[in-house]
Amino acid sequence: MSQFETSAIRTQAEQSQYREHSVPLYLSSSYTFESAEQMRALFADEAEGNIYSRYSNPNTTELIDKLCCMEEAEAGWATASGMAAVFTSLAALLSAGDHVVACRSVFGSTHQLFTKILPKWGIQHTYVDINADDEVWIEAITPETKLIFAETPSNPGVEIIDLERLGKLAKAHELLLLIDNCFATPYIQKPIRYGADLVIHSATKYMDGQGRVLGGLIAGKKELIASVEAFARHSGPAMSPFHAWLLSKSLETLAIRMDRHSENATKLANFLEANEAVESVRYPFLKSHPQYKIAKKQMKLGGGVVSFVIHGGLERGRRFIDALQLASITANLGDNRTIVTHPASTTHASLSEAERLEAGIQAGLIRISAGLETYEDIENDIKQALIASR
């Protein structure tokens, strides 16, 4: 099954004796064995099969199989949340004394991992600006550097990094490359094609698409996923079978949803760019985006997230959000409903003002996750809020 949409729909768990057309939910914490020998072989990893749902479950296995088809990956793993996927990947691959080179534009909780949690175990990092030349990236690499970490498009500034350039850099210096592909999804962007060793998703976002469940996904090289699995099996960030079942169903409509998200976001970005209340707009497929050519090279569509800076800074940003009538005010994104967030006072509030500015997060920055509503209704709500917040 070579086509994305067909694989997403037709990759399923093996049909049971009941001949169901839709894969059932397997709510079982453990599994029985046909014999002592089968049990021994499974625990010794000499045979494949389910032992305990912290390790695997038919629903999570189906979800991982779909993910691997979509990302063109050799293997994958599912976790209880997106941040569990980020932490599990890093913890499985890093040891005390290791060093990470990371793009400065990362999600707030990822920043907390690099600055507060990993240093407790002697793991250090160096941030590099997303637009930095190769020389700057190379200068950040030390003999202890183990991997490069980046997210693209970034959250919430919607900045783009050249995956091909980063892949070549990692290979030249024999480093692992981990890419957070949450904003783009595998329908829009496939980092493995450009040299990524692991790709990470917060499945809570577009993979679900309806704001229902938490989940994280990791895909990449088989030997690296083996390390991820070994860490996860014993540390326990397991995805529940119910969430895996829901996410697998959601992936069947990922392509058609991302088409609509991207269509609405593109229209909204053009509207905002022409509005006098707006200082600047960031959207990958706007020609004014600093990395527009890179986005067009590595992304199929622009995605569903638009960021803009409103004139008037922090206070007007708050007034704008309070004036919204249709859009939801929440910290999530990737929902079928349009969502508006003020990162400086929410998702990135833990960063200092200097750290936020270094990551491209101005006080008046607004992040919009364009939903699946009729576009005119989205625009009308944004328009009236811009007027009301003056």
Taken in order 98, 159, 116, 135, the sign of the CA dihedral is positive
- Please enumerate in sequence order all residues whose Cβ is within 8 A of that of 369, keeping only pairs 6 or more positions apart, or say none: 304, 305, 332, 333, 334, 335, 338, 339, 340, 341
Is there a contact between 376 and 264 (Cβ–Cβ < 8 Å)? no
The Cα–Cα gap between 7 and 10 comes to: 5
Residue 147, amino acid: L
- Ranges for all domains in the chain classified under CATH 3.90.1150.10: 254-388
Q: Residue 77's beta-bridge partner residues? A: 218
Band the pLDDT of 348: cuts 50, 70, 90. low
Residue 133 region by backbone torsions, left for phi larger than 0, else alpha for psi between -120 and 50, else beta = beta
Residue labelled with tokens 């569990």: 84
CB 250 within 8 A of CB 265: no
Average pLDDT for residues 96-122, to the nearest whole number? 95
Whether the per-residue pLDDT at 295 is higher than 60: the answer is: yes
Q: How far apart are the first and last CA of the chain?
A: 53
Q: What's the pTM?
A: 0.94
In the prediction, which pLDDT does 197 show?
98
Task: Please give the CATH number for the structural domain made up of 4-251.
Answer: 3.40.640.10
Mean local confidence (pLDDT), 16-28: 91
pLDDT for res 344: 75
Q: For residue 347, what pLDDT is reported?
A: 66
Burial group, residue 362, by CB count within 10 angstroms (0-12, 13-18, 19+)? buried
Partners of 150 in beta bridges: 179
Domain 254-388 adopts which CATH fold?
Aspartate Aminotransferase, domain 1 (3.90.1150)
Q: Among 348, 253, 262, 273, which residue's Cα sits nearest to residue 305?
A: 262
Compute φ and ψ for 235, nearest 5 degrees.
-90, -20
pLDDT of 64 reads 98
Q: Minimal CA–CA distance to 390: which of 259, 228, 240, 276?
A: 276
Rounded to an integer, the average pLDDT of 24-44 is 95
Residue 145, SS3 per DSSP: strand
pLDDT at 256 over 80: yes
Measure Cα distances from 149 to 87, 120, 200 in Å: 12, 19, 10
pLDDT tens-digit readout, 296-346: 999 999 999 999 999 998 889 889 999 999 999 998 999 999 999 988 776
Query: Residue 119: is its pLDDT beyond 90?
Result: yes
- CATH 3.40.640.10 segments of the chain: 4-251
